[in-house]
Amino acid sequence: MASGKSTLLLDELDVMASVVKDSLYEFLLEFWPDVCAEPYIDNWHIPYLCGELERIARRAASGLPREHDLVVNISPGSTKSLLVSVMFPAWVWTWWPSASFIAASYTYSLAVRLSRMNRMLVRCERYAAAFPATHIIEDQDTKGYFVNVSKGERMCAGIDGDVVGRHADFILIDDPLKPKGARSEAELASANIFIRETLWSRKKDKAVTPTILIMQRLHEDDPTGMMLREFGGAVRHICLPAELTDAVKPRELRRHYVDGLMDPRRLGRAVLDEERRVGEFYYSGQFLQSPVPPSGGMFKAERLRIDTPTGPWTQRVRYWDKGGTRDGGAYTVGVLMGRNGDGRFWVLDVVRGQWDAAEREARIQQTAAVDGKAVIIGIEQEPGSGGKESAEATARRLAGYRVRLDRPTGDKAARADPFAAQVNAGNVCLARGEWNSEYISELTFFPESRYKDQVDASSGAFKLLTRPTIRVGGGFIT
């Protein structure tokens, strides 16, 4: 009897193994209890994403050049991490046990937590019995890095870490940026550089190895924005906002929404209403998958009117926000703004470039000559002695022009608020120019925009146009 029972159990394992090898979705259903104490809640997006991951994995296993990398934007609480970081690698090992994975998250501790869950699944009794080729080697068995007897590997990394010496068949990126990090230019840059320069170099075969990124939209220049901008047609973009909006991609997925909701059981109206109360930008990024709320950002850029300028001008100001790195970093921007007789404000011209210090100063002088001596020139004076010396050096080079040095106070959003109020009231017009598109885009996404230089320069120009200034020694105005 004991022998017959053992044979029956082996047969059951064989049947189960055969079924789940063919379907990531069936694998998830089968092994959910081995990973989660909570009951599984199904929704259409889970089998859909399983199908996408399956196709990518089968192609990689066949050694065929990848058709695309995958970017998925979806709300928190949608089983995204369990699917991509825990279930997917364990499922691939059921039929490709020698596959290797590098899995990254915004901190090493988060990456290790997901790695530990993946390891716990691979080590559970049923999985280990059904798939003996995936047994973990004792001396290569840690929470953050483990290797199976078929030489398959899973290594985790934080965005601030390193993966030197490792190459993978799959690059998994799960939440590479925390919400607060989206407000830091340094953290945004760090996440994008790590993905673009470090993880990209860790592929076993650059033509074959796929990158799979899953996250919420947090900023115009978050890793999703970076990948879509820099890799374009090589990326398949799936965007699943919690509510039915124009952001849904592919558009045919709109038919799965029920009463306007992507996942009514996990993310019903009551849950979403509570999340919405946290904040407009928070809700838009985390749940609507848009860096800008439906009501618009700080600037209602659609209220800008592009037209032919109408003078005469009561005053005109060209304000410079200076950068100093050639072909990289922040831009140098000079915004020419005027106020006409009926009180409207016009953005008349934008000069913008990534120049070194010498070329920047030459451009400022050339632009001053074109604008003429009737135009006031505002120069932003950054904090510290270096900022003061740089601003005063520029002013000396502009001897004979009406130069004003400006020491901004407060954060960028606070400085932009008076100008935003006039834009939102429909009191700001733009002269037609090639710069219009980039200018409007920056205002649309501000304060979550990739660059803020044009807004900074516009805020400074508006300040000098509308606030009285006081003359001090040396002819400088603060």
Per-residue pLDDT 10s for the chain (478 aa) are 444 445 546 678 889 999 999 999 999 999 999 999 999 999 999 999 999 999 999 999 999 999 999 999 999 999 999 999 999 999 999 999 999 999 999 999 999 999 999 999 999 999 999 999 999 999 998 899 999 999 999 999 998 777 777 899 999 999 998 877 666 777 888 899 999 888 988 999 999 999 999 999 988 889 999 999 888 789 999 999 999 999 999 999 999 999 999 999 999 999 999 998 888 888 989 999 988 777 667 888 889 999 999 879 999 999 999 976 665 667 899 999 999 988 899 999 999 999 999 999 999 999 999 999 999 999 998 888 778 899 999 999 999 999 999 998 888 888 999 999 999 999 999 999 999 999 998 998 888 788 889 999 999 999 999 976 444 444 444 3
Question: Within 13 Å, how many C-alpha atoms sit on residue 400's CB side?
Answer: 6
What architecture (CATH level 2) is domain 2-287?
3-Layer(aba) Sandwich (3.40)
Return the pLDDT at 2.
Answer: 47
Whole-angstrom distance, CA of residue 133 vs CA of residue 350: 63
Whole-angstrom distance, CA of residue 213 vs CA of residue 105: 10
Phi, psi of 231, deg, nearest 5? -120, -10
Return the pLDDT at 265.
Answer: 95
Q: Can you say how many angstroms the Cα of residue 37 is from the centroid of all Cα atoms in its chain?
A: 32
Q: Which of 314, 332, 304 is nearest to 419 (CA)?
A: 304
Cβ–Cβ < 8 Å for 196, 54:
no
**Alpha-helical runs (H) found in 150-222:** 185-193
DSSP-assigned beta bridge partners for residue 158: 105
Q: How many residues comprise the chain?
A: 478
DSSP-assigned beta bridge partners for residue 235: 69
Could you tell me the two tokens for 303? 């209220």
Q: Which CATH class is domain 301-475?
A: alpha beta
Is 262 exposed, middle or buried (CB count within 10 Å of its CB: 0-12, 13-18, 19+)? buried
- β-strands 305-307, 428-431: how paired? parallel
Whole-angstrom distance, CA of residue 283 vs CA of residue 289: 9
Return the pLDDT at 471.
Answer: 44
Strands of 200-312 (E only): list them.
211-215, 235-240, 305-307
Whole-angstrom distance, CA of residue 257 vs CA of residue 264: 9
DSSP-assigned beta bridge partners for residue 405: 379
Whole-angstrom distance, CA of residue 357 vs CA of residue 363: 10
Could you tell me the two tokens for 405? 């040095």
Return the pLDDT at 325.
Answer: 66
Question: Within 13 Å, how many C-alpha atoms sit on residue 220's CB side?
Answer: 16
Range(s) within the chain of domains with CATH label 3.40.50 = 2-287
Range(s) within the chain of domains with CATH label 3.30.420.240 = 301-475
In eight-state DSSP terms, residue 182 is G
Cβ–Cβ < 8 Å for 196, 173:
no
Is 101 exposed, middle or buried (CB count within 10 Å of its CB: 0-12, 13-18, 19+)? buried
The three state secondary structure string of 6-18 is HHHHHHHHHHHHH
Three-state DSSP at 469 gives coil
